[in-house]
Homo-oligomer: A and B are copies of this chain.
Amino acid sequence: MKKQNNYSVPGFLASSVSAGLKKRGELDLSLIFSQKKAVAAGVFTTNKVKAAPVLLSQKRTKKGSIRAVVANTGYANACTGIRGMNHAIQTAEMVAKGLEIDPEETVVASTGVIGAYLPFNLIKEAIPDLVKSLSPNGFKSVAEALMTTDSFPKVSYFKGNAGGNPYRLLGIAKGAGMIMPNMATMLSFLLTDINIDSQTLWPIFRSAAECTFNRITVDGETSTNDMVLIMANGVAGNRSLNRSAIKEFERGLTDVMGELAYMIAKDGEGATTVVVIEVKGAATKDDANIAARAIGNSNLVKTAIFGQDPNWGRIMAALGRSEIKMEENKVQIWIEGIKIVDGGLMTSEKEEREAAEEMKKGQITIIIHLNQGRWKDRITTCDLTYDYIRINADYRT
């Protein structure tokens, strides 16, 4: 993946302002605008309690074309009933009016405290400025404006080539807590100038979301506001994509979304270590997924990782209660390539000491082989630390 400082995609503009939603005058309201009609697709939270902006944006995205996304932080606009829905609709309307586009092509995203009403006057007052300050170079500050408990902005970029026409793909994401996306994630926006039709875009996008955002967990909590949107405006001018160009785009999209998802796990509230949990040899596809999640969501495994303790007994206990098919005496476990469990038993104290040493690196891979079948899956997570408690005990106060 190529890196650069100047993130831009032809035909897309962005802006962000401080509307006064965050406490210390930080950026908290942002806008992404496509100057041309753009093909769009989205995946949204599967939580039965859906925020107003999720309900609205899901409906509008289904029509397949989106030109503007307005996003606020500080308030989730979830559990806010009719009043909350009116706030979302009016926000979109005002933005659409400023941009002279159809409100039906404008979607809204929110993240923050659940249950509080949006301070709508602040948003209303800020929208004219927001529209006025749109620029081709506004994306990095959008990533900043989206941050809540995030400790760094999350951006990823890819350049491809479709039949001689170069194109760009820019991804932005936010997320640090209440993270175990299911069919969706925290907020993420993908922008590309590739010329692609909805029918081609949707399956690629959906499967990229499935193996990236849907494979991370910080705390096993699925948010009411998760939303991933992609907009493709066709400005690159390429003709209809052939198979190899589609493959390249798919790889680029999966890389960008994968990098963003990794950043979210790395920035998990209070995290000191990113942990990739790989389960192999499961009897079924579901078993592999369930086992990886049982380990990735175990508070005892995650505190042990924080303590840099290769406490594999807790991994065994998590597997045992996960209701998958397993035989204790067939389990093998590796930490950073060091085999610490074989046949369900400790290999040796020497291996444990070596694994403990590896756990200081800030990023580890734990492989579990169940030896039950041919299925595998992986999940990316982080450790559970004092700071997760601090951040979440004090979140509203």
Chain A positions near chain B (C-beta within 8 angstroms): 46-50, 76, 78-81, 113-116, 177-178, 182, 219-224, 298-300, 303-304, 306-307, 309, 311-314, 316-321, 323, 326, 328-329, 341, 343-346, 384-386, 388-390, 392-397
Q: How many angstroms from the CA of A170 to the CA of B80 in the assembled complex?
A: 51
Partner of A307, one of B221, B309, B344, B393: B393
Contact across chains for B386 and A389 when beta carbons are under 8 A apart: yes
Sample of 19 A–B contacts (CB below 8 Å): A47-B317, A48-B320, A48-B328, A76-B313, A79-B316, A113-B313, A114-B317, A115-B341, A178-B300, A221-B298, A221-B318, A222-B320, A224-B316, A299-B384, A303-B388, A307-B392, A385-B389, A385-B393, A386-B386
- Return chain B residues, CB-CB under 8 Å to A309: 393, 395-397
Contact across chains for A306 and B389 when beta carbons are under 8 A apart: yes
Partner of A393, one of B80, B303, B329, B346: B303
Which 3 pairs of residues, A with B, have the shortest CB-CB distance? A114-B313, A49-B320, A307-B393
Contact across chains for A223 and B317 when beta carbons are under 8 A apart: yes
Partner of A317, one of B224, B299, B320: B224
A344 to chain B, nearest CB (A): 6
Contact across chains for A326 and B48 when beta carbons are under 8 A apart: yes
Partner of A49, one of B177, B303, B316, B390: B316
A225 to chain B, nearest CB (A): 9
- Return chain B residues, CB-CB under 8 Å to A345: 79-81, 115
Q: How many angstroms from the CA of A326 to the CA of B223 in the assembled complex?
A: 16
Given contacts A299-B388, A389-B384, A393-B306, contact A178 B317 (CB under 8 A): yes
Residue of B whose beta carbon sits closest to that of A387: B389
Partner of A392, one of B299, B316, B395: B299
A81-B345, A223-B317, A224-B316 known; 15 other A-B pairs, CB under 8 Å? A47-B320, A49-B328, A50-B328, A79-B341, A80-B345, A114-B317, A115-B341, A178-B314, A299-B392, A304-B393, A306-B393, A309-B395, A309-B397, A384-B389, A388-B389
Contact across chains for A313 and B79 when beta carbons are under 8 A apart: yes
Contact across chains for B219 and A397 when beta carbons are under 8 A apart: no
Contact across chains for B396 and A311 when beta carbons are under 8 A apart: yes
Partner of A81, one of B48, B80, B182, B329: B329
Q: How many angstroms from the CA of A79 to the CA of B342 in the assembled complex?
A: 11
Partner of A79, one of B116, B219, B344, B397: B344
Partner of A300, one of B341, B386, B390, B392: B392
Partner of A343, one of B48, B81, B396: B81
- Return chain B residues, CB-CB under 8 Å to A392: 299-300, 303-304, 307
A385 to chain B, nearest CB (A): 6
- Return chain B residues, CB-CB under 8 Å to A318: 221
Residue of B whose beta carbon sits closest to that of A344: B79
Q: Please indicate which of the listed interface residues A48, A78, A182 has the most CB atoms of chain B within 10 Å of its own CB.
A: A48
A319 to chain B, nearest CB (A): 7
